[in-house]
A and B are shown apart, each in its own frame.
Chain A
């Protein structure tokens, strides 16, 4: 076994005592490419083999399908059929779609989802949109965690007919302050969101970030020098990203055992509480 391969395997040996909660996984197919684990059973097997106990899961279908109710029903069923509870579904809501409130109700009441996932740039709204603000308030009323994806791929290499802008977080801190009780996780954010704008959002309310797009050498250590550890979550963005990226980031930075536990599972577990 090679050195680098061994380093991943060594981390895996801790999986029984140090389970991982990955808050950024997607099912179905990336619209522009087949990827290795876009089959749910294979994805579950891979995640389990690398120590993942829970994966908070959306669907790539949510980006372009107009029938979000069908997307969420399929997602819920797929999470039930595979993994014996490993996959935790986060349904998609498009607040610019007619009668989206019913989609929200179905996510909460019928599918018993603990949260929802939003894609403002694919669904065509800004973060000061009144419908978005109202969606956040209704999510709070239903006790749902909200995941907000800032981008889904590097905008430099998007397909020329499928280009979308990175979500502008400018209005978000204000919206968060106006939405007491909101629990908001920013997905795929740390490639674009840094320094004061990031700190402003973290300070605005109960806002979390995950590490899938965190870059820079010693990235997690650098992040924790600015952001409280209890606001940082493990996210892989599998299967579009190699899952090992997230795992190896935990190794690259020198982190205390307490911080590692917080990142591996404690922070996420605290967020969903009785769903575990």
Chain B
């Protein structure tokens, strides 16, 4: 039986007035789809360029939700590279001293900027994986929104880091090519339309060990994103890796260090 782990979940786009209420709702749907574990990051309301106070508030919401479902959910700490020291402090608070196992970077700062270097270095010391949102929009990216090519630059500077290319750049035919040479970069399938061929190309270009199922719920559905793997013309063993085994392998070192049972 395949154990499904969802790399990419949020507390936004879900009904409920509290973080734990929203997470409980997400888990109801996850149960219907046979998903064993969720990774969550960012709070109930988002900001493109959050202040240190806002980052702390969002991470507190995730920590609060995690406390209610420690066996089902893992957390990533949300950081803003523009606030380097505050982000390092938050990384220590939530990962070194707390239960979180990864880092989430969104659209505050292009990810090839030097401000990211101390954060990636510290995350790597802590064995935390780094999830960086990326997109390639013909309509124009947001001011601080990263491209997969910028992520490739970051990955080249940090070969020991484990870096996940969020959304595979959206425009996955180009995004997957941009990250292909960097063996420490993994492709997140989540967050775009369930366009046929995405997963097959990711497996062809990166190998199944570098491809991760994620949904981007609540904005997306589990259904449309699971379909990218279930409906793909790839082997059953590749599906097994993508749906859970790869993520479990990446998180195993930090979870073992923290005594989290996988």
Give residues in A with beta carbon < 8 Å to B: 2-8, 33-37, 153-160, 163, 191, 213-219, 238-245, 247-249, 251-252, 254
Contacts and interface: CB of A to CB of B under 8 A. Distances in A.
B219 interface: yes
A35 B196 contact: yes
A252 B223 contact: yes
Contacts of B138: 155-160, 163
Interface in B1-28: 1-4, 13-14, 25-26
A26 B179 CA distance: 32
A242 B194 contact: yes
A2 B196 contact: no
B174 to A, nearest CB: 9
Given A241-B227, A248-B223, 13 more contacts: A2-B236, A3-B1, A3-B4, A156-B135, A157-B136, A216-B221, A219-B221, A239-B196, A242-B232, A245-B194, A248-B222, A248-B226, A251-B33
A118 B88 CA distance: 54
Interface of B: 1-4, 13-14, 25-26, 29, 32-34, 135-139, 170-171, 173, 192-197, 200, 217-224, 226-233, 236, 239-240, 243
8 contacts: A4-B33, A35-B197, A157-B192, A215-B220, A219-B223, A242-B230, A245-B231, A251-B223
A4 B221 contact: no
Contacts of A4: 2, 4, 33-34, 226, 229-230, 239, 243
Max chain A C-beta neighbours (<10 A), residue from B170, B218, B221, B239: B221
B139 A252 contact: no
B26 to A, nearest CB: 6
A9 to B, nearest CB: 10
Contact of A2 (B1, B137, B224): B1
Contacts of A214: 221
A123 B141 CA distance: 28
A213 B239 CA distance: 24
B34 A216 contact: no
B25 to A, nearest CB: 8
Given A2-B240, A215-B220, A252 B192 contact: no
Nearest to A35: B196
B221 A217 contact: yes
Nearest to A157: B171
Given A2-B243, A36-B197, A245 B139 contact: no
A247 B230 CA distance: 11
Max chain A C-beta neighbours (<10 A), residue from B25, B135, B217: B217
B33 to A, nearest CB: 6
B39 to A, nearest CB: 15
A254 B222 contact: no
A33 to B, nearest CB: 6
B223 A153 contact: no
Given A2-B240, A3-B3, A156 B230 contact: no
B169 to A, nearest CB: 9
Given A217-B13, A219-B221, A245-B224, A36 B233 contact: yes
Contacts of A243: 227, 231
A216 B9 CA distance: 12
Contacts of A216: 13, 217-221
Given A242-B228, A248-B224, A249-B223, A157 B2 contact: no
Contacts of A33: 173, 197
